Amino acid sequence: MLKIAVPKESDLGELRVALVPDIVARFIKLGFEVLVQSGAGQGAHFTDSAYEAAGATIVNSAKELWESADILLKVAPPGEQEGEEEMNWLKTGATLISFLNPLGNPEQVQALAQRKINAFSMEMIPRTSRAQSMDALSSQANIAGYKAALIASASLPRLFPMMTTAAGTIPPAKVLVIGAGVAGLQAIATARRLGAVVEAFDVRPAVKEEVQSVGAKFIEIPIEEDTATSQGYAKEVGQSTQEKIRQVLTEHIKKSDVVITTAQVQGKRAPLIVTEEMVGEMSSGAVIVDLAAGQGGNCACTEAGKDVYYNGVTIIGPLNLPSTLPVDSSKVYAKNLLTLVKYLVKDGAIDFNFEDDIVSGTCVTYEGEVRNERVKKALATLVQA
């Protein structure tokens, strides 16, 4: 019987948990033994007693839990506890499934390989219809986009919706969303539900219909180069194209009460879209919420984890927004993990079938080797530097 272990997250401010009690019960029915560290669900408001009622065994010691795991399910990459690297507690041949930031921190992936830990990175789930129910990047981005619109609404010193009153009509707020991936589309939909007039831009012309379907006007900028990866993610464009985009967006940003930016490229600095000069042309009281703050920001004025005030404009650089709504973000992440583990485990063991695109795309280390080509390239770049 495979032992699935769920630790308490050690990252400061990480309130999510990898499994919730309902999903634990489903793993138990599938024949797994589930170990949960005491207090693992506390930040997400899931008690130890709820996990026990679902059939889990509560383990008090973090080290004991990690050492017992055949499969360890986590949210954030392994960190440090009690002056020790958490990954060093895993036994040789154990499997780790977590967000690992493999392109941004390839050295840790290499360390996992050296420890002979078989690791699956949730960031690397292929963007295919077959893998959609495992796509944790999308499930968490959906929540981040929703929260970004709420933050913008709460921070703007005026109303989002139009209101007709005896004292006159208050016009709706104007919101611009830059980047129409999962987070951007949810930000659009939420801002529209709050009553704002919304327009959006994305380098991928193919998302125009999706933007319009959630109630926003799509800003069209002719772009000659290829703007999407084979998996459908936005691709980094050249400097001349970036400058062309900034020129067109300047007028739209100037007229906006709120700008929400979501443009990110895995393993690279986020593209600079909103310059300091563009911020300076916005009206006093305007708000920018930069969801790319953790990757350097789409706005030149962004500081990760801080609110910056520039010429009357508030620039908010939130980090880890899904963790601010830990109940539901944990629920959907746990479902992503359940679907993935069910897919991977066959006849009581993980089937490392690298002919399968989900397995080959997501597995970053196997039997002492870094096996993902993109991670290998990231490591090679570090060596050259």
Which of helix, strand or coil describes residue 34?
Answer: strand
Q: Is 376 helix (H, G, I), strand (E, B) or coil?
A: helix
Q: 201-233: buried (b, 16+ CB within 10 Å) or exposed (e) per residue?
A: bbbbeebbebbeebebebbeeeeeeebeeeeee
Strand partners, 176: 199, 259
d(CA 55, CA 317) in angstroms, rounded, equals: 40
For 350-355, the CB contacts below 8 A with 24+ separation are: 350/71, 350/95, 350/118, 352/118
Three-state DSSP at 297 gives coil
Q: Which residues are catalytic?
A: 127, 132, 135, 138, 233
At which residue do the structure tokens 């499930």 appear?
139
At a CB cut-off of 8 Å and minimum separation 6, what does 156 contact? Answer: 173, 257, 258, 285, 286, 287
40 touches 17 (CB < 8 A): yes
DSSP class of residue 206 equals G
